[in-house]
Amino acid sequence: MQQRPFKQVDVFTDQAYLGNPLAVVLDGTGLSTEDMQHFARWTNLSETTFVLPPTPDAAAQGADYQVRIFTTAYEMPFAGHPTLGTCHAWLEHGGVPKNPDRVVQECKVGLVRISRANSRAAFAAPALNRKDAAPALVQALADALGLARSKVRASQHLNNGPSHFGLLLDSTDTVLALAPDFSRLRSVMQGAGITGVGVAAVQPETATTGLIVRSNREARAFAGSPSATAPGPTDDPGLEVRFFFDHGNGIGEDPVTGSFNASLAQWLIAQGLAPKRYTASQGTCIGVQGRVHIHQDAGGQVWVGGDAVTCITGTVRL
């Protein structure tokens, strides 16, 4: 064992302890997969990452570092909050990117670009594979979530590395009131090969704006305001999101989920169900205030942005 630089950061928040925590081992050289998995299980966080030098092929393509991402039970090919959190920790630790305007991360899905053009970092959403779902699966998931089938406006299999499932519901209040049967939900997910199920709170499009109308106890957004299509960023939530995932020991609710928000945005924007720029709120029901900032550029690339705050800096013996 040796002392290795370590940080624990909070992601998708600008206030410590109100986002999604991430453990980052900033030097993972010499550690086996088993070593990494054992430590990730010990941290008991949704994800733990290990920073390594990029492989020669990736370095030749501009990669600044390689990251391996572990839940408490398995390695992930890609995840959003570990991407932004690792980038934040690497830069704060003294990492110098090849290009001052962006960081290029190597992970199991390939190379992921992270823009630094603005004060808030944002990663380029990986390519999305999506398909329609069988009605029987939608019904089974709705039943496991304690949800009337009539509340589901749209559904989709979503895969950008992780295999997720998205449900678009009729209102934010419907999402906030969900009371899932976790045992039943896990059974359905395992049968369908799904690692996570996410729900987004929306209301039908209005004829006047063509944008989602959301109405709930916290905020109103996209409700015909001229600012809804303004080019500048907004911190006013336009969607309420919840995400339930299988962490190996059962189903839990994730505070803030970058990979799901990435695939959700690609789906909704492509279908005209969301504007090209919006902010999603996640974690309300478990006491956090996650904010995920989405925008699609002129070339059609969806970017997923979020703040990060360092909570712990030190060394870890591994």
Residue 54 Cα distances to 68, 104, 111, angstroms: 11, 10, 10
pLDDT of residue 235: 65
For the residues 263-272, what does the mean pLDDT come to?
Answer: 96
Q: Are 75 and 33 in contact (CB under 8 A)?
A: yes
Looking at the annotation, which residues are catalytic?
47
pLDDT of residue 214: 33
| pLDDT grade for 201, boundaries at 50, 70 and 90 | confident
Q: What are the boundaries of each domain within the chain? A: 3-125+306-317, 129-297
The alpha carbon of residue 67 and the mean position of all alpha carbons in its chain are separated, in whole angstroms, by: 16
Fold of 3-125+306-317: Diaminopimelate Epimerase; Chain A, domain 1 (3.10.310)
Fold of 129-297: Diaminopimelate Epimerase; Chain A, domain 1 (3.10.310)
Q: What is the pLDDT of residues 14-57, one digit of tens each?
A: 999 999 999 999 999 999 999 999 999 999 999 999 999 999 99
pLDDT of residue 27: 98
pLDDT of residue 237: 78
Give CA–CA dist 293/149, Å, rounded. 29
Domain 129-297 in the same topology as domain 3-125+306-317: yes
Whether residue 203 is predicted with pLDDT greater than 70 in this model: the reply is no
Whether residue 95 is predicted with pLDDT greater than 80 in this model: the reply is yes
pLDDT of residue 202: 63
Beta-sheet pairing, 48-52 with 65-70: antiparallel
- Name the residue with higher pLDDT: 290 or 238: 290
